[in-house]
């Protein structure tokens, strides 16, 4: 882009549907889903993925909604795997783990080599309150299955909300004692319909202070240049901790991410409300070169950084469920 950021990471939302109703992601009443014909087809997704890989993308993450509710998820991952000789190194997925368990072996066999699972509480009752659904045990089983299949690291995303699950942070740290998981505490972010309030936000510095009060040796690790997560570790523990600080300490300067929504819109920033429809262009018969030109223009117009916490609250944006994380 115009700020010398190289974009090597593409997130593709496969569906707007989800089998959970997490409070911070989706309004309680649900969302109006796009008509089925508006959602990208698998050939369209593969065409775009190939185009982005040709332009230098080395990592593709599949998101949703919940990607595993897409019926042809196995075939789609298998076709993405065929892009690896062209330079695609990582096929990742973000999932809530509910329906993933039985599909996991075949997905790994098809080339999926990185996994993020969402788990915001280690309490079964609270899980059902936060997600408005059952399935806590299945998520824990999926974490163990992923580790057994050799996925390294298995990342566990936890959105921390004051008064909801902030008292469980030390329990999650303990979870890393014997499991080689990367627990990532995510600052609560404002999106359409999630009733964000600043007093629910727990800044990561506060979390670090609370952890160090119990684990004085809790220390910073070295981050990779494009990491969104600030990595920490309790010496002797198998896993590690990360902090995704989108609200209190943005990382826009090293952002290398682009997003395609399930209905085929390119978003160059998670918090940006500017979108361009690649789906419409493909269905109008545009060539790869014409698509490439529009993508290049959108990336060039990516802003230096997002609007900041005070402005994000008032900006119009999709609910998280319709963006894909």
Give the number of other Cβ atoms within 10 Å of residue 287's Cβ. 10
Longest distance between any two alpha carbons in the chain, whole Å = 60
Of the candidates 262, 29, 19, the residue with the CA atom closest to the CA atom of residue 139: 19
Question: CA 148, 11, 260, 281 torsion: positive or negative?
Answer: negative
Instruction: Write down the pTM of the prediction.
Output: 0.89
* pLDDT at residue number 251: 61
Contact 268, 5 (CB under 8 A): no
Which residues in the chain show pLDDT less than 70?
26-28, 30, 189-198, 250-251, 271-273, 306-325
Query: 9-322 belongs to which CATH class?
Result: alpha beta
Query: Residue with structure tokens 């595993």?
Result: 68
Contact 70, 100 (CB under 8 A): no
Structural domain boundaries of the chain?
9-322
* pLDDT at residue number 125: 95
Q: Say which DSSP state 260 is in.
A: E
* pLDDT at residue number 46: 98
* pLDDT at residue number 213: 98
State the Cα–Cα distance between residues 52 and 86, nearest whole angstrom: 11
Write the DSSP string, 202-242: --HHHHHHHHHHH-TT-EE-PPPTT-SEEEEE-TT-SSEEE
State the Cα–Cα distance between residues 54 and 253, nearest whole angstrom: 24
* pLDDT at residue number 271: 67
């Amino acid at each position: 882009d115009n700020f010398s950021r190289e974009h090597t990471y593409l997130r593709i939302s496969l569906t707007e549907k989800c089998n959970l109703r997490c409070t911070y992601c989706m309004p309680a009443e649900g969302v109006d889903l796009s008509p089925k014909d508006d959602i990208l087809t698998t050939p369209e997704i593969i065409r775009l993925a190939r185009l982005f890989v040709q332009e230098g993308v080395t990592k593709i993450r599949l998101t949703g909604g919940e990607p595993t509710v897409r019926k042809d998820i196995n075939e789609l991952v298998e076709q993405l795997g065929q892009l690896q000789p062209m330079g695609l190194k990582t096929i990742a997925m973000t999932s809530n783990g509910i329906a993933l368990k039985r599909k996991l072996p075949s997905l790994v066999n098809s080339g999926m080599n990185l996994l993020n699972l969402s788990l915001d509480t280690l309490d079964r009752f609270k899980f059902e309150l936060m997600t408005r659904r059952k399935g806590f045990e299945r998520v824990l089983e999926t974490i163990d299955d992923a580790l057994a299949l050799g996925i390294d690291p298995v990342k566990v995303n936890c959105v921390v909300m004051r008064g909801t699950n902030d008292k469980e942070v030390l329990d999650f740290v303990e979870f890393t004692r014997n499991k080689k998981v990367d627990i990532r505490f995510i600052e609560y972010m404002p999106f359409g319909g999630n009733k964000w309030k600043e007093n629910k936000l727990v800044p990561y510095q506060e979390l670090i202070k609370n952890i160090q009060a119990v684990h004085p040796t809790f220390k910073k690790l070295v981050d990779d240049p494009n990491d969104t997560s600030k990595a920490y570790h309790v010496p002797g523990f198998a896993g590690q901790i990360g902090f995704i600080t989108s609200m209190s300490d943005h990382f826009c300067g090293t952002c290398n991410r682009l997003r395609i929504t399930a209905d085929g819109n390119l978003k160059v920033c998670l918090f940006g409300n500017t979108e361009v429809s690649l789906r419409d262009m493909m269905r109008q018969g545009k060539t790869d070169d014409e698509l490439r030109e529009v993508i290049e223009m959108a990336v060039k117009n990516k802003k230096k950084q997002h609007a900041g916490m005070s402005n994000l609250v008032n900006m119009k944006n999709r609910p998280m469920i319709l963006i894909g994380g």
